[in-house]
């Protein structure tokens, strides 16, 4: 008897969507958000005048939102997904899973460096930060670090989507994933935090994908999105207002 697996979501920029028993839509929606955000930050840095401190402060606030979501996501993988799979994988598969954690560790310092430089431009860094460098030099350094962050995170997401998710689908069942997700990925957010997160996920999604995700999630999620979109949009306008268009 043949097994019918869910159709996996494939979004622009995504490397792969390996087939299997677990619907990984939420995982790929998160990856889409991470790619989108780093692209927008990389474009905003050179476009924002160095003395526009209000916009730099908004960019710093927006960066902290992005970094918080990414940290929660990676922490869930490191504490939940990779150890669960390591206990079942063969030697070659374990090498791939170990690389996932190593790549997380390599990405973190680059993200921290981006945040430090944003804080200098927002005038919210310690007094010694940025010492001896002009604001133009700090902005140039930020552009370099953002490009590095995009490259490293992009390579990691491609590696995860094309190889680690194959291992995931080989061993996980929907019931296994539900248990891991509940323990390591679900957090007790306030309604406001949840509303922002849903709006963050929805940003720049293809219309048919967003419609399908909302249909699957139910009417309540449409209400949450409606609550979250105004605040999300206000911060987007402030942070990315210097972007063309």
Q: What is the pTM of this model?
A: 0.95
Residue among 104, 103, 97 at smallest CA distance from 73 = 104
Q: What is the spatial distance between Cα 45 and Cα 240, in angstroms, rounded to a whole number?
A: 9
Let me know the angle formed at the C-alpha of 76 by 210 and 221, rounded to the nearest 5 degrees.
30
Consecutive 10-residue averages of pLDDT for the chain (245 residues): 82 97 97 98 97 98 97 95 98 97 96 96 78 91 97 98 98 97 85 93 97 94 96 97 89
Residue among 182, 163, 147 at smallest CA distance from 85 = 163
pLDDT at 52: 98
pLDDT at 76: 95
pLDDT at 155: 98
pLDDT at 189: 78
pLDDT at 1: 43
């Amino acid at each position: 008897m043949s097994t019918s697996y869910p159709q996996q979501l494939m979004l622009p920029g995504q490397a792969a969507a390996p087939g299997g028993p677990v619907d990984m839509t939420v995982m790929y929606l998160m990856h889409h958000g991470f790619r989108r955000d780093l692209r927008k930050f990389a474009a905003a840095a050179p476009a924002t005048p160095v003395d526009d401190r209000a916009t730099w402060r908004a960019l710093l606030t927006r960066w902290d939102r992005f970094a918080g979501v990414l940290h929660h996501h990676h922490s869930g993988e490191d504490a939940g997904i990779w150890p669960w799979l390591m206990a079942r994988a063969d030697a070659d598969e374990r090498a791939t899973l170990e690389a996932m954690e190593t790549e997380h560790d390599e990405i973190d310092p680059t993200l921290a460096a981006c945040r430090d430089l944003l804080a200098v431009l927002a005038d919210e860094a310690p007094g010694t930060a940025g010492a001896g460098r002009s604001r133009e030099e700090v902005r140039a350094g930020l552009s370099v670090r953002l490009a590095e962050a995009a490259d490293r995170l992009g390579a990691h997401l491609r590696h995860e989507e094309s190889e680690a998710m194959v291992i995931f689908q080989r061993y996980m069942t929907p019931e296994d994933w539900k248990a891991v997700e509940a323990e390591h990925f679900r957090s007790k957010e306030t309604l406001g935090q949840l509303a922002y997160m849903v709006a963050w996920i929805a940003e720049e999604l293809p219309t048919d994908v967003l419609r399908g995700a909302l249909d699957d999630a139910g009417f309540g999620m449409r209400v949450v999105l409606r609550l979250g979109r105004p605040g999300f949009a206000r911060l987007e306008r402030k942070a990315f207002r210097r972007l063309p268009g």
